[in-house]
Amino acid sequence: MKFERMLTIYGLHCEGEVGRVVVGGVIDIPGKTMIDKLNYINQKNDWLRKFTLYEPRGCAAQSVNIILPPISQDADAGFIVLQPDEAHALSGSNTVCVTTALLESGIVQMKEPITDVTLDTAAGIIKAKAFCKNGKVTSVKVEMCPSFTVAIDKEIDVPNIGKIKVDVGFGGCFYTMVDVKQIGLKIEPSFANQLVEKSIEIKKAADAQIKVSHPDEPSFNHIEYVMFIDNGDESMIFKNATIIHPGRVDRSPCGTGTSARSAIMYDKNIVKKGDIYYTQSIIGGKFKTCIEKFTTLSDGTKAVIPTIEGRAWFYNIEQSGIEPTDPFKTGYTMSDTWGPLA
């Protein structure tokens, strides 16, 4: 066995959602800013994404995080989220995985009972507070990026479904949110495949009928996800089911989706500053959530800054490499798993 390139990867999951972390084999990504690095992967060279996510080394139901030197001198590390469709600026569940990996591996020194970790991302500086005991990160509280509402109860016409009302918000990326009861389904594992199928038509309709643009970052200019939601009850638990390319349900409650939903719920007077509430995934994982701060964007848009708190666990440490004679050096996709566009 002789590898011409090798990566060291930690396997972690956050509340069930796999968020692997590359800690060795990548020195840096070209770019003066984290946005530049993100765009380099998406526009110029995405071999790392394919190598780590495509078969035979990866699979569709996961993310991979690349640890990078931070641009900001105030940050402990930088990271970029790689997913099956492209590189993304931010993910709440992956922030929890990255923070846990940095501390439990000793890359960043753990201090019990609380360690503050500052991360440099394409969505800005993200601050995480890790609660630690006996060398283990028991949970991570993440201060998410400024999140805001774009539209509430906007009607769109969806082929094969009809007219539905959606909410649109930003929480690190743009989401179209659909009350699951409008399509006669539930956020339960037995409905996962039907949720994915319905999301395809809704995403196409949303792309055609809703235009979005972040006032401070022009590259954030399209809806990335459909998220099905279900209303909470007196227990303040709200179900989320984000549909991720190439066609699967996020196993976690979805941190950026929770952030976008928090902005919308604030504007709908469902929650207020300081309330503690929970978002719950399709398999039951929960994020403890709270709107703690507010800010204003450059065009005057009012934004909330929510926090999410979740847990991550290690499940393996691996080394992935490329043998010189391997015909699938950056992997492959098949339509049986990766959808008709594979």
What's the distance, Cα to Cα, between the start and end of the chain in Å?
30
d(CA 253, CA 336): 26
Contact predicate 224/256, CB 8 Å: no
**189, 191, 261, 271, 285 from 278: Cα distances, Å:** 19, 22, 11, 11, 10
Residues assigned a catalytic role: 91, 254
d(CA 302, CA 150): 11
Sign of the CA dihedral 18, 19, 25, 26?
positive
d(CA 298, CA 57): 42
Closest CA to 67 of 51, 53, 79: 79
Torsion angles phi and psi, residue 131, rounded to 5: -95, 125
DSSP sequence for 157-203: EETTTEEEEEEEEESSSEEEEEEGGGGT--SSGGGHHHHHHHHHHHH
